[in-house]
Structure 1
Amino acid sequence: MTTTTTRTKARKPASKAKAKTQPKTQPKTQAKTQAKTQPRTKARAARKAGDRLVRTRPIRQLDPAAGIRTVDDLADHLYVAAQVELSTIPMYLFSAYSIRTRGHSQWAAPRGVLRTLVGISIEEMLHLALVRNLMVAIGYGEDISFYDEEFIPSYPSTMLNRYNPDDPDGPEIILSLDRLSKEHVGTFRRVEMPDDIDLGAETFARHPRDVGQYTSLGEFYRAIEQGFIDLEDEIEWAVEDARKQYKRGFWNEFGNGKPIRVHDLATARQALRIIIEQGEGTITDHKKIEIRPGVEDYTHYEKFVRVQEGIEGIGAVDGGPEHRIDIDDPEATWPVVADPLVADFDDQPGVQSLMTLFNAAYCYTLCLLDETYAHSTDDVRTKKVPGTDREEMFSHRYRLERNDVAVMQGILYPIAQALVTTPIPDGPYKGRHAAPSFEFYDFDADKQERTKKEQLIDLCAEAIEHFPVLGGPDGVERQIRLLVDI
């Protein structure tokens, strides 16, 4: 069923809507106050005290045993799916940042480990966008926010909707930020593992309903797909909001797939197929997926197998001896601190300032995505070029999309490189290297009421005192000044 009615039409009975939205849509001031006493803050305090593991709380409570019976249930599942997707991106990027080698050795396969990890990370960003597109399509676009302390993951933490008592490596998966290694890639494989891979005990067929979680990402997404099928006649497709979905400004040199504008059951299933098949493949083939007729690519699961087995090369150390190295070789990666926290480096003001800048830029990226989804692609207008009589076409939405890419490539990556190449001179982490922590940065805590961009500029100025490389005509500081202010 398709409708083009306006958003003023009620989607649910008033009593039901009120009951559902009370825990979802608190006033911002109230939410900020409560955030200071919520479990995530307590968990961080426990981490600083020595207990690092955070038990991840889903942004919405799900009941796998009950299934998806209402559109509200479907929206809740999609919101948690977005939370799961975001939890993998920092983990993959962190390992990519830790790689010391660049380029390819004469033994390296064409793709290479670095490009594989970057490509997978970008595909996970695609999945994040597709899930949000699905929420917009069913009329729940305003219910989701990426820049939310309760949404942004902490590390190390338990993975959501991946609980299997038959897994010999343990029923849960612990997500952590660590350097690239065969052992760590083994965790990546478990994240993307298909339902029917034999683990030496039983398969993933058993379903631990009593713990309120799904056994694998594939099963979780198939439940969502079935929810779309079962609720097709109840979903009021928000066709008028379709142009708020993410469609343009996506490019992945080392991967495949593209955003889909969802407007009916067919396009919803197409979006979900991309997510499922890129991760674990099809029911009949877990190694490769068909991108288009005659063109195939490996699934995430198979790519991690190839990395772990050394099929994908790690590259050669610049200026080093020409010998084959694998990902466990000390020359392959920087000896970075695993699961770092800004609070761990109170005795290292330079490192702490750079980590804080990274976290702020990371959260700014999430803010940009939130702002992107608030604007339609139909916002093109003419604008006079300053100092001339000439007019040009201008789109605020398109500028936001381009800034998403600019932050990832021109700001986050160089800051991360500055961190991982910086040794810790003393203290408990002496001999290790700094690293990004992907923590929540609270822009709203600024007492000077500066804009987010102004805060980034000032944080960069603090970090430049210790890391002059951030300056210069093409440095991070200039890239920040070119960003749109939100």
Structure 2
Amino acid sequence: MMSNTIKTIDDLKAHLHIAMQLEHATIPPYLTALYSIRPGFNPDAVQIIRVVAVEEMLHLTVAANLLNAIGGTPDLTVAGFVPNYPAYLPDGETDFLVHLAPFSKQTLEAFKKIERPRLAPGPQKLVKRPYPAGVTVLGTHPGASDMQYFSIGDFYIAIEDGINLLEKESNAAGKTIFVGDPERQVTSEYYYSGGGELFPVVDIESARAAIRLVMEQGEGVGGGIYDHERELSHYYRFDELTRGRYYQPEDRPENPTGPTFTVDWQAAFPIKCNLKLAEIPAGSELHNAALSFNQAYATFLEQLTQAYNGQPHLLLEAVPRMFKFRNLMGELIRNPLPDSGGFNASATFEVVCSNRVRSTLATVTAEASA
């Protein structure tokens, strides 16, 4: 049964922008936990979190391909694209807060909630829940901010239903919704993660395949621990850390039989959760380091935006940049935060992008509409 929450091409574009925001929203928490692990400890955890972060970048790029395919303009520089953490994410019956926090059992459980396979029990995909004022809520319906999708999986099902409906209506009129410039599609030539092939989205079949990749690899929707390309879903990658054991291709959920390993849950710097710039003494080295990181992250988002708007080669530079953040974040994570009760500093991800990229985007959009 179709969800019928997307009825116009503008609805679909708005949903795909939110899809990009959702996929990106996991990256700061994952990077924070990853770089909070003390050097030389927990190599298995480092590898697992790193792989998932890379694949989230893949999903972000898939969402950009989908938006480009229908004539949209991906923009990671718009105000509010980076959440104000902690932020609410949909998780079935009850939403939850995702934090910028150090590696720990509690943080891992939050990561598993992000990636947990969960779909609404009936046709109703949207739910209404009260939230405190001033918090970021991800996964809301762009036309009804008080309504949120039951789960991330339901959000993507709504997108697929919307694509099916709108393409059917367009075909009946001898048209198609896939009117975007094929040159803006990002393929594996520009990004390789090991977690799936990036292919151009140019029609209904490639759009469905793109959505299936994100849903199966991310949330594990479909019932198996591996997707159709035999890649372990993110939920079960994190479950390996819970159980201290790797999954094998024929394993059942919650019963891995592969090699075992040990996780030292105490081997992380005690960073302060959801730190804000205002909490760091102005003019201090830590404050300057936090500003430098936020500027570097803004540049990263600007570069991604340009890559998704006709310069895909820039992705070859942007993705490695994500892991060069280790040094910038290390200047914060490894140092005590004054008057904090024993906590260390951390990156705040309070990002303000430049007007230059937004001006360029406005020109690109105008030319595309001409």
Fold match (TM-score > 0.5): yes
Aligned-partner Cα distance in 2 for 1:96–1:326: 13
**In structure 1, what is the equivalent of residue 104 of structure 2?**
181
Is 1:269 aligned with 2:208? yes
Identity value in percent: 28
The answer on whether the counterparts of 2:153 and 2:221 sit within 8 Å (CA) in structure 1 is: no
The answer on whether the counterparts of 1:195 and 1:204 sit within 8 Å (CA) in structure 2 is: no
- For residues 322-380 of structure 1, give each alpha carbon's deviation from its aligned partner in whole angstroms, at most 9, with x where no partner exists: xx963432xx111111111111102561011111111111110110111122325xxxx
Is 1:149 aligned with 2:40? no
Q: Does 65-74 or 217-226 show the bigger shift? A: 65-74
Q: 1:311 Cα deviation (Å)?
A: 2.6
Aligned-partner Cα distance in 1 for 2:231–2:64: 25
Partner SS state of residue 231, structure 2: strand
Q: 1:406 Cα deviation (Å)?
A: 4.0
1:305 is aligned, of 236, 239, 262, to 239
Aligned-partner Cα distance in 2 for 1:230–1:444: 36
- For residues 224-259 of structure 1, give each alpha carbon's deviation from its aligned partner in whole angstroms, at most 9, with x where no partner exists: 1121112224243225x111122232133xx51132
The answer on whether the counterparts of 1:163 and 1:213 sit within 8 Å (CA) in structure 2 is: no
**In structure 1, what is the equivalent of residue 182 of structure 2?**
242
Aligned-partner Cα distance in 2 for 1:186–1:290: 26
Aligned-partner Cα distance in 2 for 1:238–1:207: 28
Runs of 5+ unmatched residues, structure 2: 130-146, 171-175, 247-260, 357-370
- For residues 294-329 of structure 1, give each alpha carbon's deviation from its aligned partner in whole angstroms, at most 9, with x where no partner exists: xx33211111111122336xxxxxxxxxxx963432
Aligned-partner Cα distance in 2 for 1:269–1:290: 13
The answer on whether the counterparts of 1:289 and 1:298 sit within 8 Å (CA) in structure 2 is: yes
Q: Which amino acid aligns with 1:120?
A: V
1:409 is aligned, of 323, 333, 352, to 323
Give the structure with higher Rg (CA).
Answer: 1
Aligned-partner Cα distance in 2 for 1:275–1:372: 20
1:421 is aligned, of 328, 334, 338, to 334
The answer on whether the counterparts of 2:184 and 2:309 sit within 8 Å (CA) in structure 1 is: yes
Partner SS state of residue 227, structure 2: strand
**In structure 2, what is the equivalent of residue 355 of structure 1?**
290
Q: Compared with structure 1, are the counterparts of its residues 343 and 120 closer, same or farther at alpha carbon in structure 2 (3 Å cutoff)?
A: same
Aligned-partner Cα distance in 1 for 2:288–2:156: 39
Aligned-partner Cα distance in 1 for 2:213–2:262: 34
Partner SS state of residue 34, structure 2: helix
Q: 1:180 Cα deviation (Å)?
A: 1.0
TM-score, structure 2 as length reference: 0.78
Q: Which amino acid aligns with 2:348?
A: S
Partner SS state of residue 326, structure 1: coil
Aligned-partner Cα distance in 1 for 2:6–2:71: 17
CA root-mean-square deviation? 2.4
The answer on whether the counterparts of 2:91 and 2:152 sit within 8 Å (CA) in structure 1 is: no
Is 1:124 aligned with 2:38? no
Aligned-partner Cα distance in 2 for 1:345–1:282: 41
Q: Which amino acid aligns with 2:152?
A: L
Aligned pairs for 1:295-444 within 5 A: 296-311=230-245, 326-329=263-266, 332-347=267-282, 349-375=284-310, 398=313, 400-410=314-324, 412-424=325-337, 426-427=338-339, 429-444=340-355
Q: Which amino acid aligns with 1:402?
A: L
Partner SS state of residue 205, structure 2: helix
The answer on whether the counterparts of 1:86 and 1:153 sit within 8 Å (CA) in structure 2 is: no
Aligned-partner Cα distance in 2 for 1:368–1:270: 26
The number of residues matched between the two structures is 316
TM-score, structure 1 as length reference: 0.61
1:193 is aligned, of 112, 116, 119, to 116
Q: 1:65 Cα deviation (Å)?
A: 7.1
